[in-house]
Amino acid sequence: MPEGRRESSSLHGLPRFPGGAGLAGFSDVDQQPYTVLAYGNGPTTSQERANLSEKETTSMNYTQQAAFLKRLETHSGEDVAVFAAGAWAHLFSGVHDQTYIPHALAYAACIGQFSGAECHSEQMKGH
C-alpha cells in the first residue's frame, strides 16, 4: 500500500484456491455474485445510504451497514493474533496455521487426546 497506509478493504468468503481476485460466491439473498476483495468505501457503491442518526447506530438492535447482501456475515482472510502467558505459552510464539491452535490448547491443558498418560505433566516428573 502506498505510503505505508492500509486501505479500508476486506476479504470476503475466501475461495479454496489461491489468488485473491475474482468471485467468492453468490449471495444467499439475491443470488448475485460478490467478489473476494471489497473496499469499505469508494466510488463504486451500489446501495443507497440510509440517513442514520447517532441514536440509531448506538442502539443494541442496530445492524451495521454491509458491502454485500447476505443473510449472515463471512469471515475475512486476515491474520488473527493469539497471545499467551504462563506455562506452555511458548507453544504460541511465531506464526501458526489455525488448525494448530486447538491442538496446542489441548496439549497445554492436558485435555482430549493429551489427557491421562498422554499428558505432558507426566513426562515432566523429575525434571
- What is the 3 state secondary structure string of the chain? CHHHCCCCEEECCCCCCCCCCCEEEECCCCCCEEECEEECCCCCCCCCCCCCCHHHHCCCCCCCCCCCCCCCCCCCCCCCCCCCCCCCHHHHCCCCCCCHHHHHHHHHHCCHHHCHHHCHHHHCCCC
Alpha carbon distance 47, 113 (integer Å): 50
The reply to whether 127 sits in an annotated binding site is: no
Binding residues for Zn(2+), by number, are 75
Binding residues, by number, are 75
